[in-house]
Amino acid sequence: MDAVTASAQPPVRLAAVRKTYGKGGGAVTALDGVTVDFPAGTFTAVMGPSGSGKSTLLHCAAGLDAPTSGEVALAGTPLTGLDETRLTVLRRDRVAFVFQSFNLMPALNVWQNVTLPDLLAGRRTDKRWATEVIERVGLRDRLRHRPAELSGGQQQRVAIARALAARPAVTFADEPTGALDTRTAAEVLGLMRHLADTGQTIVMVTHDPVAASYADNVLFLVDGRIVDELARPRAAAVAERLARVGTTVEGAL
């Protein structure tokens, strides 16, 4: 596919994606036919009750997990049938992921963890931008610390800085602000909002209506299906819609 055709495609497209874990009577359907595009320069929040398939959606969309059926395409390239090497290169060049479990390298300090994706991809680090991102997540005085010397919230911030410093086309973030205090969470969400405004695509799972209010659009997932959407969300409207789709904000926490 040539560059013009590829750029006309959304950065992420899911078509009729189903994901089933296990077989027979014990099988669990985590995603039940999800079709959605995540266009360039948009920030989407994914919400829903515990077990509704939010993390599975992110993992399938990022090519970290293969759907049982249906299709995922990144920048117009269908992931089905790609060999592991091409899939790894596509993910490395286009996608960043903020996991709930941080996935930091224990032997590396903050600066080394944040710039590791550039090293792995053979890219030159934009040191000014990496420094700004680290500063905005409040870790400027922790550059030489290793993960074991940081609190859980600080480790989460390193994982966020690592994802954002590489300026990937798409960032997937699973509860990125769950372990953060209100002020740092607002800083991180503001940074993600800024990145979407400059053309990046952000997809974030959250239980927090305030966090979701930074997004352009909220998708509500129940039992593996998108049951509702809310554009230009305000926190109160998100909370009200969450309650309507079969959960309460408290119940989702």
Ligand X SMILES: Nc1ncnc2c1ncn2[C@@H]1O[C@H](COP(=O)(O)OP(=O)(O)OP(=O)(O)O)[C@@H](O)[C@H]1O
CB 72 within 8 A of CB 17: yes
- 62: contact with ligand X by CB under 6 A: no
- Tokens 């997932």 locate to 221
CA distances from 231 to 31, 40, 189, 214 (A): 22, 16, 17, 11
227 in helix, strand or coil? Answer: strand
Judged by beta carbon, residue 47 or residue 195, the one nearer ligand X is 47
Sole binder of ligand X in the list 33, 39, 41, 51 (CB under 6 A):
51
- 209: contact with ligand X by CB under 6 A: no
Taking contact as CB under 6 A, which single stretch among the options 46-54, 84-92, 190-198, 211-219 is the one that binds ligand X?
46-54
| Cα pseudo-dihedral 239, 245, 246, 247, rounded to 10 | -20
Taking contact as CB under 6 A, which single stretch among the options 34-42, 44-52, 82-90, 105-113 is the one that binds ligand X?
44-52
Sole binder of ligand X in the list 10, 17, 43, 53 (CB under 6 A):
53
Taking contact as CB under 6 A, which single stretch among the options 37-45, 49-57, 138-146, 176-184 is the one that binds ligand X?
49-57
- 253: contact with ligand X by CB under 6 A: no
- 56: contact with ligand X by CB under 6 A: yes
Q: What are phi and psi of 218, to 5 degrees?
A: -115, 130
- 248: contact with ligand X by CB under 6 A: no
Q: Which two tokens stand for residue 185?
A: 């969470």
CB 222 within 8 A of CB 54: no
Q: What are phi and psi of 192, to 5 degrees?
A: -65, -40
Return d(Cα 189, Cα 195) in angstroms, integer. 10
Judged by beta carbon, residue 8 or residue 28, the one nearer ligand X is 28
- 47: contact with ligand X by CB under 6 A: no
- 203: contact with ligand X by CB under 6 A: no
Sole binder of ligand X in the list 17, 30, 104, 204 (CB under 6 A):
30
Judged by beta carbon, residue 22 or residue 122, the one nearer ligand X is 22
Taking contact as CB under 6 A, which single stretch among the options 32-40, 47-55, 113-121, 152-160 is the one that binds ligand X?
47-55
Sole binder of ligand X in the list 1, 27, 28, 143 (CB under 6 A):
28
139 Cβ contact list (under 8 Å, min separation 6):
110, 154, 157, 158, 161
CB atoms within 10 A of CB 201: 24
64 Cβ contact list (under 8 Å, min separation 6):
91, 97
CB 209 within 8 A of CB 242: yes
- 21: contact with ligand X by CB under 6 A: yes
Taking contact as CB under 6 A, which single stretch among the options 48-56, 105-113, 123-131, 225-233 is the one that binds ligand X?
48-56
Q: Contact positions toward ligand X, by CB under 6 A?
A: 21-22, 28, 30, 48, 50-56
